């Protein structure tokens, strides 16, 4: 077991190694492009949202969009709503105010004129600056087939990743006869491989593909004779005449507020206190390595003056468990579960790969003006067999059957500094002919440029069913939840920002590990103070009050036990030179239920980031100490990672974690990343369980990536 004084030695050695590399690398002047790593505001959004959900979230496509706008800033003098909304920085009121300001006063001559736009302050303008520019004339690139291959940009990324310690799944167990025990090991190597290619012609014509092999999956043999376990590709054409958008291959589709139809990234409750309104992208290409929740087929959008018409069709095979005595005769053939982890590293998981055929088809019609947006979405889902889950009290109202139909109406209306928005949807199928209703409605008010307020109400009936929904809410599901939410943002001083929100919610039916109807409450209060332009101090308090089943094994019937969870966070970021920026965080969590004593968790870390406009190396280093009593007092934190990857580890137990990441620009067109992360646990002799089990008290991971642009 590693002793505390050894931690200091490890920390010192890693720190000296980083400094040595920085000092010894050859120095030469070179133009360095804006770093595509997400800024601290986006980082905070990711952290807050991760605390609300256990689901794996993929930010790949959003990071790709941000990087594109860094290199090709939006000319706001000629941009429309869609282009400005794609930045995901301004809300609809601010976008509408900007467009009205330009229409009334003429084109902007300088970014400093943004200060005169209603609802714009120095903080918002600072966030916008990397992604916008001021131009007098339209700079939109006309489509020219001859130039398609001449002026487009190619982007290739290759990534390698691996856990260094031996995991139990890579040790083949044998029986007394020497035969390998089925299911006792992973099929492939512990290497994780990733390949991505993308072509972009002025954001008008795009195509690309993604390939991935997860740890434990086979490569060019066995279950994957054609190489990678997962392949994805698309072709996308935009804004050519009345053809606004067409995607062939893999794509996401987003409409309304996520109640009827929404795939891909969806920031929900917890990400921001006021800007809870979703900004739908319609159809968009899918280039993520996350293997579930997307469409495969074709989607097209036509634009006619103020109208938009979208149609789509998807047909793909998804993972799941098939039960039946005779699948050839379709006798008693049904789907018992749908699997969404995308892993095929054991034989049982490989047997579930692409076992179910899924078809999705439908469309969306929208009427859009600068202040009014009304849309209607309708789509059908068809599986090649009935989905019949193992009956449990909490899943009585879950979708079952072979077909499902959803229809919804969404709206958004802006009047001066008021934005009213929402969506109402209905589902129906052969087992739920009367259908279920879900509705979400809110109003956002910008009282002035220093105060914003939002109030929203949601009501999701327990028998509403949609397999492609991602609405605002506590659980992230579009059913069995109702609630009242309010959030406020106040800027009493140009250096001070206060955010707060509160949410009251109820569940009319049982939930997983909650065997009765229940309710809950949570609130957040955050304060950001900037004593200078480069120093940022964040304070946050979070409170949750929920219920869960008792862990009393002697009880004849599970009963609910209320519990509270609180988090206190202090975070500061400050430069110590033109090249070095330090960040520090102290976080404390407190968990308490009615049957136990309160337990506490502690997290402390130091960040060091290096970046210079004249030096081709960027570096990030973190050293963290954590101490929590159990999973209940866990904490999350965002870590810098290689481009298009992300790391949001969950901390519980007691130990240390550190990582170091280097990015070196070999030339204008070639970048490389190296990342090493390691976690030590004080009181463990075994890490994880099952096939992921590691004998020892440390876990190490390496990651290497190279990027070619041409």
Cα separation, 338 vs 330, whole angstroms: 19
Among the listed residues 383, 452, 455, 377, the one whose alpha carbon sits nearest the alpha carbon of residue 409: 377
In tens, the pLDDT along 302-312 reads: 999 899 999 99
**Which pLDDT band holds residue 151 (cuts at 50, 70, 90)?**
confident
pLDDT at 555 > cutoff 90? no
Mean pLDDT of the chain: 87
**Which pLDDT band holds residue 25 (cuts at 50, 70, 90)?**
very low
Cα separation, 408 vs 294, whole angstroms: 20
In the numeric block, which tokens belong to residue 541?
């308090």
User: Which helix (H) or strand (E) segment is 418 a member of?
Assistant: strand 418-429
For 23, residues 6+ apart whose C-beta sits below 8 A from its C-beta are none
Q: Coil, strand, or helix at residue 150?
A: coil
User: Which helix (H) or strand (E) segment is 277 a member of?
Assistant: none
Cα separation, 291 vs 284, whole angstroms: 16
For CA atoms 493, 494, 495, 497, the dihedral sign is: positive
Give the pLDDT confidence score for residue 330 in this predicted structure: 52
Question: Are the CB atoms for 323 and 336 separated by under 8 Å?
Answer: yes
The Cβ-side half-sphere exposure at 41, using a 13 Å CA radius, reads 12
Residue 415: CB atoms within 10 A of its CB come to 11
The Cβ-side half-sphere exposure at 361, using a 13 Å CA radius, reads 6
Give the pLDDT confidence score for residue 23 in this predicted structure: 40
Give the pLDDT confidence score for residue 323 in this predicted structure: 87
Give the pLDDT confidence score for residue 331 in this predicted structure: 55
Cα separation, 319 vs 298, whole angstroms: 21
Residue 484: CB atoms within 10 A of its CB come to 13
Q: First CA to last CA across the chain, in angstroms? A: 49
Give the pLDDT confidence score for residue 44 in this predicted structure: 65
Give the pLDDT confidence score for residue 130 in this predicted structure: 85
Reported residue count of the chain is 710
Cα separation, 430 vs 403, whole angstroms: 8
Compute the average pLDDT of residues 684-706: 94
E-strand ranges in 255-371 read 282-285, 295-304, 307-318, 320-323, 334-338, 356-368
In tens, the pLDDT along 74-113 reads: 888 888 888 888 888 888 888 888 888 888 888 888 888 8
Between 181 and 354, where is the model more confident? Answer: 354
CA angle 102, 69, 417 (to 5 degrees): 40
Question: Are the CB atoms for 18 and 659 separated by under 8 Å?
Answer: no
Give the pLDDT confidence score for residue 71 in this predicted structure: 78
Compute the average pLDDT of residues 555-577: 89
Q: Coil, strand, or helix at residue 101?
A: helix
In tens, the pLDDT along 604-646 reads: 999 999 998 788 999 999 999 999 988 899 998 888 889 888 7
Strand-strand pairing, 132-133 and 74-75: parallel
Cα separation, 606 vs 624, whole angstroms: 6
The DSSP secondary structure of 96-133, one letter per residue, reads HHHHHHHHHH-S-SSGGGGGGSTT--HHHHHHHGGGEE
pLDDT at 453 > cutoff 70? yes
**Which pLDDT band holds residue 299 (cuts at 50, 70, 90)?**
very high
488, β-bridge pairs = 453, 500
Give the pLDDT confidence score for residue 178 in this predicted structure: 67
E-strand ranges in 461-495 read 481-493
Give the pLDDT confidence score for residue 458 in this predicted structure: 97
Give the pLDDT confidence score for residue 50 in this predicted structure: 60
Cα separation, 565 vs 546, whole angstroms: 9
pLDDT at 27 > cutoff 60? no
Give the pLDDT confidence score for residue 613 in this predicted structure: 79
Between 86 and 709, where is the model more confident? Answer: 709
E-strand ranges in 432-558 read 432-448, 451-460, 481-493, 496-507, 518-529, 536-549
Among the listed residues 455, 458, 502, the one whose alpha carbon sits nearest the alpha carbon of residue 479: 458
Q: Coil, strand, or helix at residue 399?
A: coil
Percent of the chain residues topping a pLDDT of 70: 87
Compute the average pLDDT of residues 648-671: 93
Among the listed residues 610, 588, 607, 612, the one whose alpha carbon sits nearest the alpha carbon of residue 599: 588
Cα separation, 69 vs 40, whole angstroms: 18
In the numeric block, which tokens belong to residue 395?
């899943």
Among the listed residues 460, 456, 434, the one whose alpha carbon sits nearest the alpha carbon of residue 260: 460
For 77, residues 6+ apart whose C-beta sits below 8 A from its C-beta are 102, 107, 108, 134, 135, 136
In the numeric block, which tokens belong to residue 609?
């980031």
Cα separation, 530 vs 122, whole angstroms: 12
**Which pLDDT band holds residue 512 (cuts at 50, 70, 90)?**
confident
**Which pLDDT band holds residue 397 (cuts at 50, 70, 90)?**
very high
pLDDT at 265 > cutoff 60? yes
Q: Which stretch of 40-44, 183-187, 531-535, 652-656 has the lowest confidence by average pLDDT?
A: 40-44
Compute the average pLDDT of residues 128-150: 73
pLDDT at 685 > cutoff 80? yes
Between 330 and 527, where is the model more confident? Answer: 527
pLDDT at 24 > cutoff 60? no
Compute the average pLDDT of residues 34-52: 57
């Amino acid at each position: 077991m590693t002793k505390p004084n050894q931690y200091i030695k490890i920390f010192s050695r890693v720190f000296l190694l980083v400094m040595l590399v920085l000092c010894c690398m050859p120095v030469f002047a070179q133009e360095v492009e804006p770093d595509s790593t997400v800024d601290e505001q986006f980082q905070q959004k990711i952290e807050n949202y991760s605390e609300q959900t256990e689901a794996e979230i993929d930010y790949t496509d959003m990071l790709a969009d941000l990087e594109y706008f860094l290199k090709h800033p939006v000319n706001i003098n000629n941009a429309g709503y869609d282009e400005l909304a794609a930045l995901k920085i301004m809300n609809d009121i601010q976008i509408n105010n900007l467009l009205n300001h330009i229409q009334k006063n003429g084109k902007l001559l300088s970014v400093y004129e943004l200060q005169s736009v209603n609802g714009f302050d120095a903080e918002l303008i600072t966030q916008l600056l990397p992604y916008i520019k001021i131009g007098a004339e339209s700079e939109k690139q006309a489509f020219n087939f001859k130039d398609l291959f001449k002026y487009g940009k190619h982007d290739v990324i290759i990534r390698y990743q691996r856990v260094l310690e031996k995991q139990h799944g890579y040790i083949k167990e044998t029986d007394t006869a020497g035969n390998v025990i089925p299911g006792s090991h992973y099929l492939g190597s512990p290497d994780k491989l990733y390949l991505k290619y993308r072509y972009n012609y002025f954001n008008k014509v795009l195509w690309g593909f993604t390939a991935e092999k997860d740890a434990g999956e086979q490569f060019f043999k066995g279950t994957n004779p054609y190489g990678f376990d997962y392949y994805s590709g698309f072709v996308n054409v935009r804004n050519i005449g009345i053809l606004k958008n067409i995607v062939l291959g893999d794509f996401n589709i987003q409409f309304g507020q996520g109640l009827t139809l929404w795939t891909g990234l969806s920031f929900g409750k917890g990400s921001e206190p006021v800007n809870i309104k979703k900004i739908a992208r319609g159809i968009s290409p899918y280039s993520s390595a996350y293997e579930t929740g997307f469409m495969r087929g074709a989607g097209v959008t036509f634009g006619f003056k103020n109208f938009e018409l979208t149609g789509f069709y998807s047909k793909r095979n998804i993972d799941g468990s098939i039960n039946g005595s005779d699948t050839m005769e379709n006798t008693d053939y049904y789907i018992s579960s749908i699997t969404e982890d995308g892993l095929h590293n054991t034989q049982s998981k490989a047997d579930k790969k692409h076992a179910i055929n899924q078809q999705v088809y439908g469309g969306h019609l929208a009427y859009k003006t600068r202040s009014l947006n009304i849309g209607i979405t309708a789509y059908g889902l068809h599986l090649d067999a009935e989905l019949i889950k193992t009956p449990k009290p909490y899943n009585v109202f879950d979708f079952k059957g072979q077909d499902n139909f959803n229809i919804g109406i969404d709206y958004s209306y802006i009047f001066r500094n008021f934005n009213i928005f929402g969506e109402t949807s209905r589902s129906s199928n052969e087992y739920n002919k009367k259908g279920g209703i879900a509705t979400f409605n809110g109003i956002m008010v910008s009282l002035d440029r220093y105060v914003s307020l939002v109030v929203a109400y949601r009501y999701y009936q327990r028998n509403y069913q949609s397999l492609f929904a991602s609405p605002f809410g506590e659980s992230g599901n579009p059913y069995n939840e109702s609630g009242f939410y309010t959030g406020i943002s106040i800027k009493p001083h140009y250096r001070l920002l206060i955010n707060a929100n509160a949410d009251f919610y109820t569940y009319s039916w049982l939930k997983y590990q909650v065997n009765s109807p229940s309710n809950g409450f949570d609130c957040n209060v955050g304060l950001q103070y900037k004593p200078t332009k480069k120093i940022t101090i964040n304070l946050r308090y979070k409170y949750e009050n929920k219920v869960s089943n008792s862990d009393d094994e002697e009880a004849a019937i599970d009963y609910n036990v209320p519990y509270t969870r609180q988090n206190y966070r202090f975070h500061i970021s400050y430069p110590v030179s033109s090249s070095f920026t330090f960040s520090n965080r102290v976080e404390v969590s407190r968990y308490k239920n009615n049957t136990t004593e309160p337990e506490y968790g502690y997290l402390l870390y130091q960040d060091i980031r290096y970046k210079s406009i004249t030096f081709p190396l960027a570096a990030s280093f973190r050293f963290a100490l954590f101490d929590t009593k159990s999973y209940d007092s866990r904490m999350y934190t965002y870590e810098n990672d290689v481009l298009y990857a992300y790391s949001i580890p969950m901390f519980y137990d007691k130990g240390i974690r550190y990582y170091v990441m280097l990015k070196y620009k070999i030339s204008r067109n070639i970048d490389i990343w190296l990342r090493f992360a390691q976690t030590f646990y004080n009181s463990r002799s075994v890490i994880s369980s099952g096939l992921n089990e590691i004998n020892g008290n440390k876990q190490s991971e390496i990651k290497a990536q190279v990027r070619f642009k041409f």
